[in-house]
Amino acid sequence: MSNLLKHTPSPIVIAGPCSAESMDQLSQVAQSLHTIPQVAYIRCGVWKPRTHPGGFEGRGEEALKWISTIKKETPSLKFVVEVASPDHVEQCLQYGIDAVWIGSRTTGNPFSINELAQSLRGTSLPVFVKNPLNPDVQLWLGAFERLKQCGICNLAAVHRGFSTFNNIGYRNNPLWEVAIELRRLAPELPLLCDPSHIGGSQEFVAPLSQTAMDLGFDGLMIEVHPSPSEALTDASQQITPSQLRQLLQNIRVRSVGTSSHELNFYREQIDAIDQQLLQLLSTRLEVAKQIAQVKQRNNMTVFQPQRWGTLLQDKIRKAQSLNLSEEFVMEIFQKIHAESVRVQEEEIR
Ligand code: PEP
Ligand code: MN
């Protein structure tokens, strides 16, 4: 479907400042990134979506002029810019921008995606689509479907994590399983990771990039600024060009590989364990149905809060001695219990 990864380095790297701030900043970062072979595109925000009004909202058309000046001097440089409206697309086309990305806030809005898709119709611009702010893989997929309907097929996904209410250490929750599910549903779609917006802090960029490689991502979008502490947006997460060079030198790129005797030996064990787990879950639900009958005869509620509380405490306590994480055991049992309640409800209806 997408030929975006043809003739690009592996992993494909998009790097550049969060925002284009000045001609000087942009040409400085462009010249340093030009010498890093993995960098296929220089990113920079020209229109910035800000949480509150009144902050720096990007230099707009002025920044597009800087880009076209830089490209005249160094034609091999390619730039990618965020677009959120047909007007942005039109201006990018006018100034010869090489590719566009659709930001997280825009991906979540099908009306905006339709408008963007219409405005991109007939162009061959590569389009990178970030995940929506909420972990809705279908909404993310829907954006690709809308773009494809308008004949736009040079597409790639960018995983940048998901908004949270609580402070979880990272700026956005990676929820890697959402990206893994996108890969399962659209295996042909190139998948990049944006460790800068997931981590929100310089120190997380390298480890998150390595996780992305371990999970088989095709590339990275990383925020790079010549002087991160002076950045007008996202100062804490941007790294310097030399830090990027170091990161790319140290990163270990993996391949899916092929199965081996040794791997199969363990995989057979895993398959047998999974079979036992399924069998046990099925038996557990059969017992739950019996419990439902007893509760019904005694006019008791299906959900018994006290029992559920002690059951969960007990499992968490046992988890520790079995070397299992508390959160993991809690999540598993929340799911098992919810299914048990559902089956009991069905049983007595
Ligand atoms: C960005 O890449 O600068 C940006 C605004 O990202 P996101 O849409 O992921 O928040
Ligand atoms: Mn940013």
Q: Which of 18, 21, 81, 104 for mutating ligand 1's site (highest number of atoms within 8 Å of CB)? A: 104
CA–centroid distance, residue 122 to ligand 2 (Å): 29
CA 16 to chain centre: 18
**Closest-lying ligand 1 atom to the alpha carbon of residue 197:** 9
Nearest-CA residue for ligand 1 atom 3 is 18
Judge whether residue 348 has pLDDT over 90. yes
What integer pLDDT is reported at residue 332 of this predicted model? 97
What integer pLDDT is reported at residue 104 of this predicted model? 98
What integer pLDDT is reported at residue 158 of this predicted model? 98
Nearest-CA residue for ligand 1 atom 4 is 103
Average pLDDT over every residue of 163-181 = 96
Q: Decide: helix, strand or coil at residue 156.
A: strand
pLDDT band (50, 70, 90) for residue 9: confident
Q: Which H or E run contains 159?
A: strand 155-159
- How far is CA 277 from each of CA 273, 282, 283, 333, rounded to the nearest angstrom? 6, 9, 10, 13
Residues 6+ apart with CB under 8 A from 213: 11, 251, 252, 253, 254
What integer pLDDT is reported at residue 29 of this predicted model? 97
Give the Cα separation of 164 and 171 in Å (integer). 8
Q: Torsions phi, psi of 77, nearest 5? A: -75, 135
What integer pLDDT is reported at residue 286 of this predicted model? 98
Please count the other Cβ atoms lying within 10 Å of the Cβ belonging to residue 254. Answer: 12
CA 122 to chain centre: 28
Give the Cα separation of 298 and 1 in Å (integer). 60
What's the whole-number average pLDDT of the chain? 96
Average pLDDT over every residue of 185-196 = 97
Average pLDDT over every residue of 19-38 = 97
What is the dihedral sign for C-alpha 178, 180, 184, 189?
A: positive
CA–centroid distance, residue 174 to ligand 1 (Å): 14
What integer pLDDT is reported at residue 264 of this predicted model? 95
Nearest of 135, 138, 112, 116 to residue 127 by alpha carbon:
116
Report pTM: 0.90
Q: Which of 130, 134, 173, 198 for mutating ligand 1's site (highest number of atoms within 8 Å of CB)? A: 130
CA–centroid distance, residue 278 to ligand 1 (Å): 41
Which percentage of the chain shows pLDDT scores above 90? 94
Nearest-CA residue for ligand 1 atom 6 is 103
What integer pLDDT is reported at residue 256 of this predicted model? 82
Nearest-CA residue for ligand 1 atom 9 is 104
Model confidence pLDDT, tens digit, residues 128-158:
999 999 999 999 999 999 999 999 999 999 9
Spell out a b/e string for 107-116, using b for 16 or more CB atoms within 10 Å of the CB, else e: bbeeebbebb
